[in-house]
Amino acid sequence: MGHVALANVKATKRAAGFVVVIALSASLVVLGLGAMTGKGLQVACTSDVTAIETAVAAFHVENPDVAPTPKLLTAHTDGGPFLTSWPESGGTRYAISVTPAGTVMVSVPSTAKALSHESATDCRAVS
C-alpha cells in the first residue's frame, strides 16, 4: 500500500471513530432527554390539575348549583370562560376529568381508572 493510501486509511479510521463517539454522545443525550420528558409531563399534569381546580372553584362561586363540566368551564357563558381550553393531558400518558361535585380526577395512563389527584397514583406516576 502506498504512503498516500495508508494516510487515507488512517484518516478514514479516525473519521469512523469520531462518528462512533458522536453517535454514543447523541444516544446519551436522547436518554437524558427522555427522563426530562417524564418529569416535564409530571409538572404539566400537576399544572393542569391546579388550573382546573382553580377554574372549578371560580365556577362554583358564579354557579353554586351547577355541576362543572369541561364544556361549561371553557364556555363563554355562566360567567366564563374559566379555562381558555381543556388541557391536552399528555396524550395517552394521563387524562384529567372533573366529577359533578367538582373533584378533579387523574387517570395514569389515560385509559386507567380515574382517581382523585391526591391519591398515590396521581401526576407523580406520569412517565
Domain segments of the chain: what residues? 3-125
The reported pLDDT for the residue numbered 15 is: 42
pTM beyond 0.75: the answer is: no
- Pick from 78, 95, 74: which is nearest to 86 by CA? 74
C-alpha–C-alpha distance, residues 11 and 114, integer Å: 59
Question: What pLDDT, in 10s, does the model give residues 106-121?
Answer: 888 888 888 887 654 5
110: Cβ contacts below 8 Å, ≥ 6 apart: 89, 90, 91, 92, 93, 94, 95
Residue 90 — very low, low, confident or very high, per pLDDT cuts 50/70/90?
low
- Other CB atoms within a 10 A radius of the CB of residue 89 amount to 20
Question: What pLDDT, in 10s, does the model give residues 29-71?
Answer: 444 444 446 678 888 888 888 899 999 999 999 999 999 999 9
- Other CB atoms within a 10 A radius of the CB of residue 91 amount to 10
To which residue does cell 354557579 refer? 63
Task: Please give the residue that has the higher pLDDT: either 36 or 3.
Answer: 3
